[in-house]
Amino acid sequence: MARFVVLVIDSFGVGAMKDVTLVRPQDAGANTCGHILSQLPHLQLPTLEKLGLINALGYAPGDMQPSDSATWGVAELQHEGGDTFMGHQEILGTRPLPPLRMPFCDVIDRVEQALVSAGWQVERRGDELQFLWVNQAVAIGDNLEADLGQVYNITVNLSVISFDDAIKIGRIVREQVQVGRVITFGGLLTDSQRILDAAESKEGRFIGINAPRSGAYDNGFQVVHMGYGVDEKVQVPQKLYEAGVPTVLVGKVADIVNNPYGVSWQNLVDSQRIMDITLDEFNTHPTAFICINIQETDLAGHAEDVARYA
């Protein structure tokens, strides 16, 4: 087979879908690639140009031109919204199910009952709006950073609860809810009170933990994303394992796609480090499937920093 490399440049879109004004009007006119090249018309990306970047974009806003030798295409999204997690699941073989959107308060009763039945110590915290507090170290509520109602967070003090146990809690929650994603994550905190102190509510319906304020990212951070309708058995890593082909995931894709029989380079953001690892893996394996994610583009996009993105 030789080597097959998938390079995901996170958020580097070439336009919006036809239904954007109906389902996601805030993204009408979105075209990250086009906007960057319009702002920096003399930017040179010779490898991407040769691979067909301008062909895919459909017009030439700067110096770069379509390639005569490229084999290229443009794909629309099947999953709802614009979500990196589900986008990677789709790229690697999942046919996404339409998730529900709802505040955690709508499912708190059944999640609480399932956790109690599994032997966890569960209490509620908050006033009119409440989140769950498990074994004095785990908060379960709405994700306040994503589109509200799409994601639930499980914020864990890993100084008290092991990450394996945190994942067990996450799986129980995942089984009880139909939102797009459940994220189980945490760090080594000196005091679980930091999590409680970071509780916030929004719009009178959503309550959860402000993840940066909680300190979960600061020391010993670990995370696992659990998607709705994601069947790992039909994805590329599992199927290639069955065919005897090694798989290597590098960067954010390694954090969010299951690859139990392959090599996963997790918790990496620095683009140069990711590319160095990719080159090493490419040279190490005469046959391999390698998928990598460049996340710094996405971070630059959120910051609306064109120069950093380029």
* DSSP 8-state secondary structure symbol assigned to residue 124: E
Report the percentage of the chain scoring pLDDT > 90. Answer: 78
Contact 11, 27 (CB under 8 A): no
What's the pLDDT band for 10 if we cut at 50, 70, 90? Answer: very high
Examine the pLDDT at 38 and tell me if it is beyond 70: yes
Integer-rounded Cα Rg, in Å, for the chain is: 21
Given this model, what pLDDT does residue 108 score? 98
- Rounded CA-CA distance 83/87 in Å is 6
- Rounded CA-CA distance 31/35 in Å is 6
Given this model, what pLDDT does residue 32 score? 96
Sorted by where each begins, the domain ranges of the chain are: 3-97+230-309, 104-227
**pLDDT tens figures, 114-141:** 999 999 999 999 999 999 999 999 999 9
Give the predicted TM-score (pTM) of the model: 0.75
Average pLDDT over residues 13-18: 93
Q: Residue 78: how many CB atoms within 10 A of its CB?
A: 12
Given this model, what pLDDT does residue 85 score? 84
Contact 125, 133 (CB under 8 A): yes
CATH classification number, 3-97+230-309, choose in 3.90.79.10, 3.40.50.720, 3.40.720.10, 1.10.10.60: 3.40.720.10
Average pLDDT over residues 6-23: 93
Examine the pLDDT at 245 and tell me if it is beyond 80: yes
Read off the tokens for 303. Answer: 């910051």
What's the pLDDT band for 1 if we cut at 50, 70, 90? Answer: low
Average pLDDT over residues 268-285: 96
- Rounded CA-CA distance 223/42 in Å is 39
Strands 247-250 vs 288-294: parallel, antiparallel or unpaired: parallel
Please name the residues in contact with 113: beta carbons below 8 A apart, sequence gap of 6 or more: none
Within a 13 Å sphere around the CA of 278, how many CA atoms are in the beta-carbon half?
24
Helix, strand, coil percentages in the chain from 3-state DSSP, rounded to 5: 35, 20, 45
Examine the pLDDT at 74 and tell me if it is beyond 80: yes
Q: What is the mean pLDDT of the chain?
A: 94
**pLDDT tens figures, 170-201:** 999 999 999 988 999 999 999 999 999 999 99
